[in-house]
Each structure stands twice: as structure tokens, then as C-alpha cells.
């Protein structure tokens, strides 16, 4: 078991009817004016917007709105919001929406207090040490951003989709009301499930194997799979939504990292190139990359892949045969719930592989190298490896 | 799934060789003088004292020592330490030891800033809203106090052992180095295991049944049992100590409470009377009370008791037969690892039952009623019920 520090200061308020608490929570910090960031307007249709606005008014919190944050959120929108936040002298940023909105809110909060271009933080030229206080009302459970210090943004001018991580980016307060997620599309639910499972697997396969973290990872993956199947049958099953939502939170709030080596993260990085270049959903990209990566690297981590097959899919046996059945079972489950599992499924032609590889290697150069990080740990991937993984993922 | 708030601000530093970080962590809060509280001197024998003192010196943190905190820590020692803390104008309290030391440190930290007698907080006459900053180096994993806002103290004049809970009692920083626990006695390890398992079961059997919290509870109990058996074979198995230590932390840091009804806590309360009256180890008392309580109440919570038997002991079947085999398996496991499972095993005569019942009912009156709480939830226990449970536990 590796040494670790567990320190997650976010206050997470979870459950039915909790959104009206947002105004009081913000006011408790003595904050009188926020930047209120949201997406394409679904929060106006499902009543979340009204709940938030009513609460802000009730507790005397003034706000300035910036809407139009897209999935795979872009840098230009962040720049726009930073400018407005500065002009309007807001004291905090409130994101209301899914992971894209909250990641944008975090980046804006850091950008407001940084003189240069906040993109510097994504390419190793600036380390985020401070940010305006961040609050959010989460409406799609998937990325875990509601309880961590991570943000991922796409620079759409250069097709670079990079992540950043900082203690200053933990939300002060996050509100998760799973009942508002009953109107999500089938795809949003499934891609959320894939994203959360992928977060857990990035840690699970990083070469470490602490028993309690293995047990908790397996517990959480099994629960996500079970709840996803229930939600595809009955999207407004509150119990399933609530279980799903908490699983997505703990998939990336530090619990899964306990006693491990920091996570593998190759699949996330390769996926970022897919969604940067083709604007596909992150969860869709992960469903394509993960099984291919597993097939390519399992020999480096035999015992853990055997365990995965046994504990997640109840398979028996041992060695390569067991492992390959485990990976196939995972791929089949992804297919069953409706995720694409090949580049072809997502309409990405095999001829593009070289272009994707170039984009991944650019990420290695600009986002990982400045942090002293490599692409992968159990198996450090070079250009050739990435190409082979994408070939496996092709069809 | 019940609504909940998850907010645990403690920074937990975990792993081999982490104790020398204590000075810097305290200094980071701008603190220059602490009350350094510890127990019977085992920290001098195992080198922990030297590591702490060296670190405090290195970072320029001055200290005043109070030693002699006993297991089942007593109010008189807390009073003594509060007086010294005030006289010496310390800015924080540092507990170095097991749960008794840390609970005492918390109570002292709250007592220093309260004009009256801090015992008031244990009998509902005062609500703790503030305390000096609390730091600790934990040397026995059991109670989970290193990552929560709870403290339990015995008023030895009146034989009252009561608990208190406050946001202000979360340690700022806790350090857990599992390697220093390799010198613990067999009993200390076993009673720590029983305490941690009991914390999980108090939540598990409170009438709620959220899938993810069930899964995580079962994962953690299985891991504690496995690691306890390993440690009885090989007390210096670091991997087992580390897994055990983290399990004990998460058993009572809020994770197990997610989506539940606040926990049952009858067994803990009944046990507090045993350790108040007979000064037995808390873990020993729990091993006596828990199986008896399970036998007495399982009819109120059939499905969850069936699940317990299946998931913890891999038993098959259903209904009462399955449940009773599950409870027996638990009792047998407790026996196997060397815990007492009857009052007789602990040398407590059956004739004392009425005296114990009186003490429990006093706790209900003085500690629970002021908070509007009852003894138990799934089954609220009255005098008669407590008597019956103790009779089952007798021999």
C-alpha cells in the first residue's frame, strides 16, 4: 500500500430537494455576487434554473449569467466568462450543469485571479495556487468534478484537450440532486457510467493492488453497472439515480486513489484526442479506447486483470483465457448499454489513426512532460503503442 | 437512499515514515505552542515520541506535555489538561496515541474555549461550536476518531461513559503511520478490529439499504477480517496493517453513513455501560453485545440480516435459518480471533445485569434524550429489551 494524503474539503449536499440550499451556502461565505455559469438551457426546462435563482434571491446573492457552455467545453467560452467576471467584480463562480459547466466554472475561477492566459495552466507554464470560491449544482453525474480539484478544457483553435489539477479548484459546496437527472438522455446516462467506471479502472490498473481499494473499486463498478441497467429500463428510478450519482462522485474524489500509484490515465489521455478532434462524448471515446488498451497491456498486470474478470463478471478460470473473457465481457457490457466500442461505431475512419496519434503525442509533449508525467505507468506508451491501441480499437 | 451531507475537512496523512511531518503541518497553521497529550508511555518505547518531538523542534513549535491518558479516558484527566492548556496559553492540542488520547485531545480543545465544565457537552447542556485546532498522530487504528468529530469520555465519579459529536472536533491534520502499530498486543489489534466492524454494522443495520453503501460496508468488513487474521499470524505485516488502518478510518469517517438513517448505535451505547462499570476494552464489550443484539432484533430487518450472512460469510439459503447461521458465524469469528463473546468471558456476573441496565437507562436519560435521540432505531430499546439482550449475552 503506497503512502497517500486524503484531504477533500468539498462540502457535498446530496439528495432530493437540496438545490434550494445553494443561496444560503454561498451567503455563508459572505459572498454577495457570483458569476452564474450554465450550458445550453436544459436547466431552464427541468426547473433547476428557477430553483437556483429563487434561492439566490432569497439569500440576497446577486448574479451575472453566462450561458452556452458546451459539452467538451472550450477555452473561448472560458475567456469570455473571465472577462465578464472581472468587469462585474463577482466574488465567486457558480456552475449549474454537468461536468463541462463545472470544469469551466473552475477554470474561470482560476483565470479571474491570474494575470496571464489561464491556458498557461494547461500547458505547464503556470501552477494554479488560487482561485475565486467555486460552487456548483451538478445536473449530470459522470466526471466527479463536484468533489475534486480537476478541470478539463479544449482549446478549440489548436484541437488540444488538456486537464489541470489544483487544491484551489475543489468546490466549496456542491449540490447533487439525483432526481433532476431523470430527464437525461439514454446517451448521457450511459456515457456518465462509462466515464465513472473508467476513472475507477485508471486507478485499478496502475500496478498497485491494495486489498481495500480493490474491494471498494469492485463494489463501485458493480453498482454502477447494475444501476445503469436499471436506469435504461426506468430513467426516473430515484434509488438507482442516487446510487449512480454517489458512485460517480466517489469514482474520482480520492477514495479510489488510496494506497495506489496515482492512476494510469493512458485511456483518458488518448480519449481526449478523440473528443478534441471529433467532438464526440468523452464517455463514448472511453468506451472505444478502454477495451483496446486492456487488450494491449494486460500482460504487464496479469494478476489484476484476472481479479477484474473474477470480481466484476463472476468468471472462473485463470491466466490469459480468463483475462480475455473478462475484457470481452466488459466490451459486451458497453455494447449492451449502447456505447460505441470501435472507432467505426463513432464514425471515425481508420485512416485518421495517424492524425489521432499526432494529437496524443502533442498532449504528451505539452501537457504531460511539463509535469514530469508519462503516458501510462504500468506500461509507458510511445507513439507506436498508441498507434497499435487505436488499431485494435478501429473495428 | 436518504439525503445526506458529506463534509470531512480533516487532512489525513497516511503511510510509513509520515510522523516527522507533524511539525510542519502544525506550523502551517501559524501555531507556535501546543498541548502535547499522550498515554502511558508506549510512544516513548516505540520511538513515536522522539519522532514527534524532533519534528516540533525542527519547525519551531513549542509544547507542554500532559501524559497518563488511560484507555476509557476519564474526565478528571481532561480537566487537568484543560487547566494546564489555559495556564500555558497553548494555541492547539496535539494528541499522540490511540483513540483514548485523541478523544481526550478533542475534549480538551473544546473545553479550553468553554467557560463551564466541558462535561456539559456530554449531557446536553452545551453544544460544542468551537475548539482549539486539533492535531493527532494515531498509534492504534480502531475508533476512527482521526477523521471524524466524535469523542467519548468517561466521568469516573458517576460511571457515565458518553459521546459527543461536533463539526469543531474534526482534527485539522491526522497522521497515521501503520508501521508503528506492529508492536501492538494481540488484544489491541483484535479489539480495534471489532470496534471498526461494529461501526460499520451500526450503519448497516439501521433500516436503510442503499446498494453502494451496502457494497462498501461489506468490502470493508471482509477486508478487516482478512487483515486481522493476517496480523495475528504476523503482527509486522505492513500491507495488512495499512489495509486495516484505512478500513478503521473509513468505518467512521462518513462514508458508511451515506444514504443511511444515521446508524443504529444501540450496541455502542450498551457497551459504554460495560466499559464504564468494568473498565473492559470497548472492543471486548462490543464483541459481547453485538451478537446478542443481532439475535434479539433480526426480525425487524430480515432482508439486511440475510444479506449480511451471504455477503460476509458466503452462506447460502434464506430466512431465519440463514440469518442465525450468519450471526453464529460472526460470533464464531470473534471467538476465533480471541475476543470475549459473553459477559462470563469478560468476568462479568449475570447477577450484575440489573445494574448494567440501570446504567444504560441513565445514558438514555442524560445523553440521548437531550438530543432527542432514542436507544436504537430499527428497534427502539426500552429497559426490558436491554435486559433481554444482556441475558442473551450472559453465557
Please state whether the predicted TM-score (pTM) of the whole model is above 0.95: yes
Query: With an 8 Å Cβ cutoff, is B246 touching chain A?
Result: yes
pLDDT digit string, tens, across residues B325-375: 999 999 999 999 999 999 999 999 999 999 999 999 999 999 999 989 999
Distance of CA A211 to the CA centre of its chain: 25
* Distance of residue B238 Cα from the nearest chain A Cα, in angstroms: 8
List, as ranges, residues 12-41 from A with C-beta within 8 Å of B: 12-18
Residues of A in contact with B8 (CB under 8 A): 8
Check CB contact under 8 Å for A255 and B255.
Answer: yes
pLDDT of B89 higher than 90: yes
Domain match, A166 and A200 both: no
Q: Which has the closest alpha carbon to A151: A110, A184, A189?
A: A110
Residues of A in contact with B13 (CB under 8 A): 5
Check CB contact under 8 Å for A1 and B239.
Answer: yes
Domain match, A103 and A252 both: no
Residue B297 in any domain: the answer is: yes
Residues of A in contact with B14 (CB under 8 A): 3-6, 258
Residue A36 in any domain: the answer is: yes
Residues of A in contact with B9 (CB under 8 A): 9
Per-residue pLDDT, averaged over B117-142, amounts to 97
pLDDT digit string, tens, across residues A378-390: 999 999 999 999 9
pLDDT for B41 equals: 86
Per-residue pLDDT, averaged over A101-123, amounts to 98
Give the gyration radius of chain A's Cα atoms: 20
Final residue of a structural domain among A117, A152, A179: A179
**Count of domains forming chain A:** 2
Distance of CA A53 to the CA centre of its chain: 26
pLDDT digit string, tens, across residues B212-250: 999 999 999 999 999 999 999 999 999 999 999 999 999
Domain match, A197 and A58 both: no
pLDDT of B298 higher than 90: yes
Check CB contact under 8 Å for A1 and B15.
Answer: yes
List, as ranges, residues 199-238 from A with C-beta within 8 Å of B: 210-212, 215-216, 218-220, 222-223, 226-227, 238
pLDDT digit string, tens, across residues A130-174: 999 999 999 999 999 999 999 999 999 999 999 999 999 999 999
Final residue of a structural domain among B147, B179, B211: B179
Check CB contact under 8 Å for B11 and A11.
Answer: no
Check CB contact under 8 Å for A9 and B9.
Answer: yes
pLDDT for A41 equals: 86
Domain match, A161 and A281 both: no
Domain match, B136 and B219 both: no
DSSP B93: E
Residue A360 in any domain: the answer is: yes
Query: With an 8 Å Cβ cutoff, is B9 touching chain A?
Result: yes
Query: With an 8 Å Cβ cutoff, is A5 touching chain B?
Result: yes
Residue A262 in any domain: the answer is: yes
* Distance of residue A95 Cα from the nearest chain B Cα, in angstroms: 19
Domain match, B330 and B234 both: yes
Final residue of a structural domain among A122, A151, A179: A179
Domain match, A169 and A238 both: no
Domain match, B220 and B307 both: yes
**B59: domain range?**
11-179
C-alpha cell recorded at residue B56:
516540533
Q: What is the mean pLDDT of chain B?
A: 97
Residues β-bridged to residue A66: A37
Check CB contact under 8 Å for A3 and B12.
Answer: no
User: Measured between alpha carbons, how far is B305 from B327 in angstroms, rounded to an integer?
Assistant: 8
Check CB contact under 8 Å for B1 and A242.
Answer: yes
Domain match, B158 and B209 both: no
Check CB contact under 8 Å for B220 and A222.
Answer: no
Check CB contact under 8 Å for B211 and A226.
Answer: yes
Q: Point out the residue among B12, B222, B258 whose CB comes nearest to the CB of A6.
A: B12
Residue B6 in any domain: the answer is: no
Q: Nearest residue of B to residue A247 by CA position?
A: B212
Domain match, B82 and B216 both: no
Query: With an 8 Å Cβ cutoff, is B167 touching chain A?
Result: no
Check CB contact under 8 Å for B246 and A1.
Answer: yes
pLDDT digit string, tens, across residues B63-87: 999 999 999 999 999 999 999 999 9
Domain match, A156 and A235 both: no
Give the domain CATH number at B109: 3.40.50.1970
Distance of CA A358 to the CA centre of its chain: 23
Residue A301 in any domain: the answer is: yes
Residues of B in contact with A18 (CB under 8 A): 3
Check if the beta carbon of residue B8 is closer than 8 Å to that of residue B43: no
Residue A88 in any domain: the answer is: yes
Check CB contact under 8 Å for B1 and A219.
Answer: no
Check CB contact under 8 Å for A243 and B7.
Answer: no
List, as ranges, residues 292-351 from B with C-beta within 8 Å of A: none
Give the domain CATH number at B275: 1.20.1090.10
pLDDT for A310 equals: 98
Check CB contact under 8 Å for B1 and A238.
Answer: yes
Q: Nearest residue of B to residue A225 by CA position?
A: B212
Residue A136 in any domain: the answer is: yes
pLDDT digit string, tens, across residues A70-111: 999 999 999 999 999 999 999 999 999 999 999 999 999 999
Check CB contact under 8 Å for A212 and B218.
Answer: no
Domain match, B154 and B267 both: no
Residues of A in contact with B12 (CB under 8 A): 5-7
Check if the beta carbon of residue B192 is closer than 8 Å to that of residue B38: no
Amino acid at each position: 500500500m503506497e503512502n497517500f494524503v486524503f484531504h477533500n474539503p468539498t462540502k457535498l449536499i446530496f439528495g432530493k430537494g437540496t438545490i434550494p440550499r445553494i443561496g444560503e451556502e454561498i451567503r455563508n461565505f459572505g459572498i454577495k455576487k457570483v458569476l452564474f455559469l450554465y450550458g445550453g438551457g436544459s436547466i431552464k426546462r427541468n426547473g433547476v434554473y428557477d430553483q437556483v435563482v429563487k434561492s439566490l434571491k432569497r439569500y440576497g446573492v446577486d448574479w451575472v449569467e453566462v450561458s452556452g457552455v458546451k459539452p467538451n467545453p472550450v477555452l473561448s467560452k472560458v475567456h469570455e466568462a473571465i472577462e465578464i467576471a472581472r468587469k462585474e467584480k463577482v466574488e465567486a463562480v457558480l456552475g449549474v450543469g454537468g461536468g463541462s459547466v463545472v470544469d469551466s466554472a473552475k477554470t474561470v475561477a482560476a483565470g479571474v485571479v491570474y494575470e496571464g492566459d489561464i491556458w498557461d495552466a494547461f500547458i505547464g507554464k503556470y501552477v494554479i495556487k488560487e482561485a475565486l470560491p467555486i460552487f456548483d449544482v451538478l445536473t449530470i453525474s459522470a466526471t466527479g468534478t463536484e468533489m475534486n480539484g480537476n478541470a478539463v478544457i479544449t482549446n478549440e483553435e489548436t484541437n488540444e484537450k488538456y486537464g489541470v489539477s489544483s487544491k484551489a479548484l475543489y468546490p466549496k459546496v456542491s449540490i447533487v440532486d439525483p432526481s433532476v437527472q431523470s430527464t437525461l438522455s439514454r446517451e448521457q446516462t450511459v456515457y456518465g457510467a462509462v466515464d465513472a467506471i473508467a476513472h475507477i479502472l485508471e486507478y485499478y490498473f496502475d500496478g498497485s493492488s491494495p486489498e481495500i481499494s480493490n474491494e471498494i473499486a469492485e463494489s463501485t463498478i458493480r453498482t454502477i453497472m447494475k444501476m445503469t441497467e436499471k436506469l435504461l429500463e426506468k430513467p426516473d428510478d430515484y434509488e438507482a439515480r442516487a446510487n449512480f450519482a454517489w458512485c460517480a462522485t466517489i469514482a474520482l474524489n480520492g477514495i479510489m486513489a488510496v494506497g495506489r500509484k496515482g492512476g494510469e490515465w493512458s485511456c483518458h489521455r488518448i480519449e481526449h484526442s478523440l473528443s478534441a478532434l471529433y467532438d464526440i462524448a468523452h464517455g463514448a471515446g472511453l468506451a472505444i479506447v478502454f477495451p483496446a488498451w486492456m487488450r494491449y497491456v494486460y500482460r504487464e498486470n496479469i494478476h489484476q486483470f484476472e481479479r477484474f474478470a473474477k470480481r466484476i463478471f463472476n468468471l472462473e478460470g485463470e491466466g490469459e483465457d480468463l483475462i480475455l473473457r473478462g475484457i470481452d465481457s466488459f466490451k459486451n457490457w458497453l455494447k449492451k448499454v449502447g456505447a460505441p466500442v470501435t472507432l467505426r461505431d463513432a464514425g471515425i475512419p481508420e485512416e485518421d489513426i495517424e492524425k489521432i496519434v499526432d494529437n496524443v503525442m502533442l498532449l504528451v509533449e505539452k501537457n504531460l512532460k511539463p509535469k514530469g508525467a508519462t503516458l501510462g505507468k504500468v506500461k509507458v506508451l510511445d507513439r507506436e503503442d498508441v498507434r497499435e491501441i487505436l488499431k485494435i480499437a478501429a473495428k
